[in-house]
Chains A and B, each alone.
Chain A
Amino acid sequence: MSNYPLISLAIWTPIIAGLVVLATGSDRNAPLARMLALAGAIAGLVVAIPLWTGFDVALGTMQFVELSSWIPRFNINYHLGVDGISMLFVVLNSFITIIVVLAGWEVIQQKVAQYNAAFLIMSGLMNGIFTSLDGILFYVFFEASLIPMYLIIGVWGGPNRVYAAFKFFLYTLFGSLLFLLALMYLFIQSGGSFSILDWHKMPIGLGPQIWLFLAFLVAFAVKVPMWPVHTWLPDAHVEAPTGGSIVLAAIALKLGAYGFLRFSLPIAPDASHELSGLVIGLSLIAVVYIGFVALVQEDMKKLVAYSSIAHMGFVTLGFFMFSAMGIEGALVQMVSHGFVSGAMFFCIGVMYDRVHSRQIADYGGVVNTMPKFAALFMLFSMANAGLPATSGFVGEFMVILGAVKFNFWVAFAAASSMVVGAAYTLWMYKRVIFGDVANHHVAELSDINNREFLILGVLAICTLWMGLYPQPFTEVMHASVNDLLRHVAISKIQ
């Protein structure tokens, strides 16, 4: 099994497929471009699945490792591998790519090949981020993945797309510059190594650790995004096309959170302990403050965007409690959020395609004309509110339970999302879906077609599966998370 370079396949299959799609050229070949894109996305998932099925759950170390020299002069290597922390995200990303290609099937009629190519290439680059074990390789993937997203928002986006694309790009670029400085520092300190695994083992004094931690924090906090560097996300979501929102929510937000586990905690464990209060404080602000902000949004996409920030607050909270429940709960929350927020944004896209409005006030009584859609949207809304038997519950439950052990009042603040999260989600649902038919736009709505039903149905199955039987998802994490916790518990100060 591991004779094949599986990770390279997971990275390059979608990228090559993307280039092939790009080669189809103008919109005259749009049907071909779509078919090729779908085939490429499916191939991407097919090559990613053996990573999960062939994964040895007993091992906490890197698996499917690939190592070859890239730029020998600076000791930069093409070094790839997955562990229990990153593996699921490769699979999730490859899966979401299929959803995204299908989501734009009928909606995108302009520059079809370029649109699909952007998503496929981005998918490959993101797999690269999750699997890189070399600092420079990581950085290259990390920065390169900004470009397709920038283009997706800037070209296929809404009326205010240029402002949103710039805001997105500058925010993340600002963060990654500090990150690059940190990489340089580590390269010099380690005596010329860009290997992330070497950096994990390298002793560092508390002072430098704190500077490193802060540099990482800025870079990753922007990506997650954490309060107060979150304001690019609602704008980006509102302007992005449906597919862009899905990738942004389901995958892009996970990159920052993943960075905490791959860089901040293992490289600067003492600083992580030292500054955990800061991160937990910011996470709780995200959960509570953003929850209230979400409550008063009038634009559905903004509402779900803010709810994403609140859900990601649970993730960062879980990481910095330094317990297995916390970290695994956070990882589960990340995967679940991929399904649920992806589905939520798709649902909003379904309505937007028909009515061309995202304003809650423009809807009302959608259930009368779209009963199938209303039922599925109900499921995802409930998952967003963290109802048991949906995936949304599992992560929240684990993080809250972990938090009670950590500190009762932290748990208290986090658990308040049970009320606020339900309030903003169900209030939106009530105003949009229930009630009498509000206007002629709603009266003329047609229920979801087979393509839309397929997408939502598959996501619904994932959501329920993960809610009813999360064990397959968490069992792959145990060994790696336990290794990480043991590692973080040992001081690096000499």
Chain B
Amino acid sequence: MEMQKLYLLVPLAPLFGAMIAGLFCRVIPRWVAHTVTIAGVAIAFFASVAIFNDVQAGHTFNGTVYTWLTSGDYRFEVGFLIDSLTTTMMLVVTFVSLMVHIYTIGYMQEDPGYNRFFSYISLFTFSMLMLVMSNNFMQLFFGWEAVGLVSYLLIGFWYTRPTAILANMKAFLVNRVGDFGFILGIGLVLAHFGSLDYATVFQKAPEFANTTISLFEGRDWATVSLMTVTCICLFIGAMGKSAQVPLHVWLPDSMEGPTPISALIHAATMVTAGIFMVARMSPLFELSTTALSFIIVIGAITALFMGFLGIIQNDIKRVVAYSTLSQLGYMTVALGASAYSVAIFHLMTHAFFKALLFLAAGSVIIGMHHDQDIRNMGGLRKYMPITWITSLIGSLALIGTPFLSGFYSKDSIIEAVALSQIPGAGFAYFSVLAGVFITAFYSFRMYFLVFHGEERFGKGAHDTHHDDHHGGHDDEETTHDHHHGLAPGQKPHETPWVVWLPLVMLAIPSVAIGFIAIGPMVFGDYFKGVIFIDHHAHPAMEHLSEHFHGAVAMGLHSLTSLPFILALSGVVTSWFFYMKRPDIPAAIQRRFSWINTLFENKYYFDKINEVVFAGGARVLGKAFWRGGDVATIDGVMVNGSAKLVGWFAAITRFFQTGYVYHYAFMMIIGVFVLMTFWINRA
């Protein structure tokens, strides 16, 4: 009973903070807003720690809080499922959220929307916790859409900026495309399993392993496996939320939002909801190798091709954003290889080091006075030592340096894919290997350009930067011509402690968590009874654990392995290209300009969406409206019938002239006709 109150406390504490800061944002002073929200998230974090310990002691929970709705034979409930997967997510979410809350005090201090911002990020924390703690699909969908809403609000936080309000709408709509598939998947689950409760559905799932449904009655070719259709529909939802190709287009644009939320929402937590969902549904996904193949191919495409785009970005946040896309691809590949625990493990390590990289990028942006173009930076290590060191740690973790957290998770993914037998695994293996080199290359390109080499800041005129700060409603003119970036001769400076403390706090798990957690989490019993793998059909994880001989051995062994060599050569290449011979990348860019054009247009996804979908919808709407409603229905049917009546009336009006002699004349004609008739009959 006591624990159940604690479960409730975890989501409600941030919600309370969000309501105080949000509903009273115009009356309360700033310190109240940040104190109450930080307190709420801190309570959620410490409660999560307590719950984590409780679950480790063997006390899982699956129960209802209240009945949301009943209809027919169906019950929809709001409830919690507390197990090791949930507590892992709770710890990650609350910890990163807490760090981001603290960081925000420094980052947003000049912004007029300070209280509103704190309200939003606390509301996000609540929504994300509801998502991960759910014990049923309905509540999952609630959390799913709620995080989408907060993401929408936060991307468009600077609502006077045209790019931001376009980006937030795009994010919401692209996510809705994913949700469209997701809700059909949920519908299929309900229609066939008769429940949306995880436990019931998972228990019944094996009975449906060989069930087929017909998409078109009476057509043999339309008969498909129920589990395949259901899993692919559910995964389409994950593709939207976790930004997998082709629904990835919203994530780079989401960088229009303030940097703290890029770290929290668009790197560490919300975008990994799709990964979490698939891992949670492992008993369903295991029943369809076809769906897993689909997943692994989509993940591989995302991991490789989004990595390429990271190479040519010059906006510091966009480099990290494409890196996030690529890493989400890695997680998806792991899911496809049935290595769910590895995917969650990478989700966790990635949350720490990617939040670190984003917050460090934000710190650089503050230091550079809101100039985000890495071509204007260089040599910052002298001026921002803490940001420099923590960034280096984050980058090293990201590229998979042995013994750092990213190494353990990424290497496990690569190994799992190598051992996977399902169709598409070969391509995926190539992609994740090539991705290692690319990740190292773009990460260290950014690192070198920002922290090393010539000091390029303070040179005055530059034109390709984003204004990441101003745009509050009381300084409209500043969005256009406010000077940002460093003035000539001005030097960058280290940021205040509220900004660098979270960097340090995140650097610690970025270094250590992999080494500590790989044993129990990936190869131990940590996810026993939570993640289900059909070892017979998908033996990759079983084989992988045969090769595992402890974290130290894994690190040492990797020093001679291919991924390490690829990562090292990526770092060396970028050092050579950007530190030693900057003329080489320029020459390559000229020589292969078509590739550069392709990359700069992001494979033309945005163009296609804009013309085909957005444009097409408007054309269709105009056609239906002008052609259907106005011309056909109103023009022909409604006004047409009115005209018909009018026409009829006009004809009959001829006989109603009002002149007596007309009527008299008609009467005489009538008399003649009748008389003729009468005489002839007689």
Contacts and interface: CB of A to CB of B under 8 A. Distances in A.
Interface of A: 167, 171, 228, 231, 289-290, 292-297, 323-325, 328-329, 365, 367-368, 371, 378, 382, 387-389, 393-394, 397-398, 400-401, 403-405, 408-409, 411-412, 415-416, 418-420, 422-423, 426-427, 430, 433-437, 468-471, 474-475, 478
Given A295-B617, A470-B68, A474-B71, A404 B177 contact: no
A325 B141 CA distance: 18
Contacts of B72: 323-325, 328
| 3 tightest A-B CB contacts, nearest first | A404-B187, A324-B72, A296-B621
Contacts of B110: none
Contacts of B6: none
Given A296-B621, A401-B190, A419-B173, A435 B162 contact: yes
Given A293-B629, A296-B618, A423-B176, 6 more contacts: A228-B633, A294-B621, A400-B187, A405-B190, A408-B215, A478-B70
23 contacts: A171-B638, A290-B624, A293-B621, A295-B621, A323-B72, A328-B71, A368-B476, A378-B153, A387-B145, A397-B138, A404-B188, A405-B191, A408-B184, A408-B213, A412-B184, A415-B183, A415-B187, A422-B176, A430-B165, A430-B166, A434-B160, A436-B479, A478-B71
A328 B69 CA distance: 11
Contacts of A433: 159
Nearest to A296: B621
Contacts of B159: 367, 433-435
A324 B180 contact: no
B18 to A, nearest CB: 13
Most chain A beta-carbon contacts within 10 A, residue among B71, B162, B180: B71
B619 to A, nearest CB: 9
B149 interface: yes
Contact of B183 (A171, A418, A427, A435): A418
Contacts of A471: 67-70
Contacts of B618: 295-296
B153 to A, nearest CB: 8
Interface in B90-111: none
B528 interface: no
Given A387-B145, A388-B141, A404-B190, A231 B184 contact: no
A231 B633 contact: yes
B69 A474 contact: yes
Contact of A292 (B70, B479, B624, B637): B624
B187 A231 contact: no
Nearest to A406: B191
Interface in B165-185: 165-166, 169, 172-173, 176-177, 179-180, 183-184
Most chain B beta-carbon contacts within 10 A, residue among A167, A329, A471, A478: A471
B454 interface: no
A33 B177 CA distance: 51
A126 B179 CA distance: 38
Contacts of A412: 184
Interface of B: 26, 66-74, 138, 141-142, 144-146, 149, 152-153, 156, 159-160, 162, 165-166, 169, 172-173, 176-177, 179-180, 183-184, 186-188, 190-191, 213, 215, 473, 476, 479, 617-618, 620-622, 624-625, 628-629, 633-634, 637-638
A77 to B, nearest CB: 34
Contact of B142 (A388, A404, A436): A388
A378 B116 CA distance: 14
A367 B473 contact: yes
Given A296-B618, A368-B473, A418-B183, A398 B71 contact: yes
Most chain B beta-carbon contacts within 10 A, residue among A295, A398, A411: A295
Nearest to A423: B173
B176 A418 contact: yes
A423 B156 CA distance: 16
Contacts of A426: 152, 169, 172-173
A167 B638 CA distance: 9
A405 B72 CA distance: 13
A422 B145 CA distance: 12
A387 B149 contact: yes
A420 B614 CA distance: 11
B478 to A, nearest CB: 11
A323 B180 CA distance: 22
A98 B152 CA distance: 34
Contact of A418 (B179, B620, B625): B179
B621 A325 contact: no
A436 B624 contact: no
B452 to A, nearest CB: 40
Contact of B169 (A167, A328, A427): A427
Contacts of A323: 72
Contacts of B149: 382, 387
A475 B68 CA distance: 11
B74 A325 contact: yes
B470 to A, nearest CB: 13
Nearest to A171: B638
A436 B146 contact: no
Most chain B beta-carbon contacts within 10 A, residue among A401, A436, A470: A401
Contact of B177 (A290, A378, A401, A419): A419
A418 B178 CA distance: 10
A292 B617 contact: yes
B186 A435 contact: no
A422 B240 CA distance: 15
A378 B149 CA distance: 10
B187 A401 contact: yes
A156 to B, nearest CB: 24
B530 to A, nearest CB: 25
Nearest to B141: A388
A284 B560 CA distance: 61
Given A296-B625, A412-B184, A471-B67, A388 B637 contact: no
Contacts of B473: 367-368, 371
A378 B168 CA distance: 13
Contacts of B625: 292-293, 296-297
Given A293-B629, A475-B70, A388 B624 contact: no
Contacts of B66: 469
A470 B145 contact: no
Nearest to B196: A401
A411 B184 contact: yes
Contact of A400 (B153, B183, B617): B183
Contacts of B621: 292-296
B331 to A, nearest CB: 25
Nearest to A234: B629
Contacts of A436: 160, 476, 479
Contacts of A409: 215
A419 B180 contact: yes
Most chain A beta-carbon contacts within 10 A, residue among B69, B74, B620: B69
A389 B144 CA distance: 11
A419 B149 CA distance: 14
Contacts of B479: 436
Contacts of A437: 476
A411 B73 CA distance: 20
Contacts of A422: 172-173, 176
B658 to A, nearest CB: 27
A371 B628 CA distance: 38
Nearest to A412: B184
Contacts of A408: 184, 188, 213, 215
Contacts of A295: 617-618, 621
Contacts of B73: 324
A169 to B, nearest CB: 13
A289 B628 contact: yes
Contact of B184 (A289, A398, A404): A404
Contacts of A418: 176, 179-180, 183
Nearest to A323: B72
Contacts of B622: 296
B206 to A, nearest CB: 21
Contacts of B173: 419, 422-423, 426
